[in-house]
Amino acid sequence: MQDLLTFLGIVNVKRVYYQLSVPELVEHTLWRKEGYLAESGALVVKTGEFTGRSPKDKFIVRDQTTEDKIWWGTINQPFESTAFENLLQKVRGYLQGREIYVRDAFVGADPKYRLKIRIITEYPWQNLFAHHLFIRPTKEELKDFGTPDFTVLAVPGFRADSPLDKTRQHNFTIIDFSRKIVLIGGSAYTGEIKKSIFTVMNDLLPLQGVFPMHCSANVGADGDVAIFFGLSGTGKTTLSSDPQRALIGDDEHGWSDQGVFNFEGGCYAKVINLSKEKEPQIYNAIRFGTLLENVVFFEGSRKVNFADDSITPNTRAAYPIEYIEGAVIPSVGGIPKHIFMLTCDAYGIFPPIARLTPEQAMYHFISGYTAKIAGTEAGIVDPQATFSACFGEPFLPLHPTKYAQMLGEKMKKHNVKVWLVNTGWVEGPFGIGHRIDLDYTRAMIRAAMRGDLDNVAYQTEPIFGLQVPESVPNVPSHILMPKNTWKDPNAYDEKARVLVKKFIENFKKYEDFATEAIKNAGPRLVSV
């Protein structure tokens, strides 16, 4: 087993546990007193200090491989190669005499674009997460696995000595594309593992002509594929886990000439306020083997109180995609017919659903407007308006215009219908209005996919020029045009001006790339 680690220079460990089963990993977690079993049989753990990603502590090693390729800045912060080697050497020393959990897995359900990865973790429940979230090789595939294409080394117990180690603080996530290593320390939040590999795929796949996407995807009975763009908290997982459709994947996909394919083998769903009535597929996936992070039990019981956010609003469940009834295995589908761009609009200005022209679709994809939801990232308490290019800016190693160009080519080639969906606030902004009812959002999306909105009358929303349907089956018509729902129309106008200014200021970064048609698809500062 030591041979699994020697290529990283890791030696003298106490024991290596390789490719343990789900029951074994659960047992190890319980033996080590690192978790508890819930009433449902799920394993409950706490991730400690970090209950969300820490984007300010993510780095990419800057060397000859990455110098002229990476989109450097606040998203992709450079890290010195020598500093990385020194930090890696310290981690090697930290691991001596410790138990280590190792797992080999795949990323990418399409074998043509598959990445072999090795995940080395300090805790057994981290390895359980890797078992669920990445694609599980068969016994035959493991025999011929060979050297991994990339290795993730996740060691929460190791704390960097900053500034000696050149990190911002004691935690860090560093990607070295030359050494093909992801080094994670000081944080036990498992989302750092999956998102670092997503960043790797976002670098590698465009070279192969594949468009990588931060999206969920599902497919109907007749093979019609839909994809859902959106940041964490906008509803990708919830809306793609639809009992009426089969799930392809809930977070990360590639779009090749043949169609879409899931990067992952499981789901990492937010479970705050989870209920069987609203989200039955996710609720039913909470059973033995599922990893629950930072949830709280009802007092005196082992029953999870999904409404309790005392640890974090970013409570999570990790489970294999097979736990979703009817999920597509292997997780591949055809060319998408519909694209839904999800935004959690805390301002309450965007309509619940709008049809986009190709130019509007490009504008809103490049803008990537939403609100950061409490708990998704460290330090976020109340929703904050933000712009995240391509609905996934934190995970883009290349310039956003590269991905936008790929989307534009796909939309044009396949004549895809694109919709903007507000899963955020209606009848006023955050603090006054309320988040739209999930049943209404589901009804609108289903209506769009069925073609029910193809021939209805539309009216033009005056701020962004969006085409809004006048009626949608099973949805109250009065909520479709936002201004109509506000008690104070003047307050709506003022809030709209604030949001428009933010859009215009943000898009200045991309004006040199955008065509006149795309720029004209944005909002204008007019008297509203």
Six-digit token string for 65? 């491989």
Catalytic-role residue among 103, 131, 195, 253: 195
The single-letter DSSP state of residue 475 is B
Closest CA to 350 of 246, 460, 463, 225: 463
81 within 8 A of 108, measured Cβ to Cβ:
no
Q: Which of the residues 28, 131, 132, 236 is marked catalytic?
A: 236
Q: Which residues pair with 99 in a beta bridge?
A: 15
Would you say the C-alpha torsion 143, 204, 407, 215 has a positive or negative sign?
A: positive
Output the CA angle 519-416-217, nearest 5 degrees: 110
Catalytic residue among 251, 331, 367, 495: 251
Catalytic hit among 232, 331, 367, 388: 232
286: Cβ contacts below 8 Å, ≥ 6 apart: 38, 40, 42, 271, 274, 292, 304, 317, 319
- The residue annotated as part of the active site, out of 199, 237, 241, 423, is 237
Please report the beta strands in 32-189, taking only residues with DSSP state E, as ranges in sequence order: 36-37, 43-45, 58-62, 77-80, 99-107, 115-121, 150-155, 172-176, 181-185
Cα separation, 124 vs 108, whole angstroms: 24
Annotated catalytic residue 232: yes
Question: Which one from 316, 417, 442, 495 is the annotated catalytic residue?
Answer: 316
Rg (CA), the chain: 23
Residue type at 393 in one-letter notation:
E
Q: Which of 29, 47, 51, 53 is catalytic?
A: 53
Examine the residue annotation and report whether 53 is marked as an active-site residue of this protein.
Answer: yes
Only one residue has tokens 């996530």, namely 173
What is the dihedral sign for C-alpha 377, 381, 382, 385? negative
Catalytic status, residue 237: yes
Q: Which of 214, 355, 417, 495 is catalytic?
A: 214
- What are the residue numbers of the active site? 53, 195, 214, 232, 236-237, 251, 316
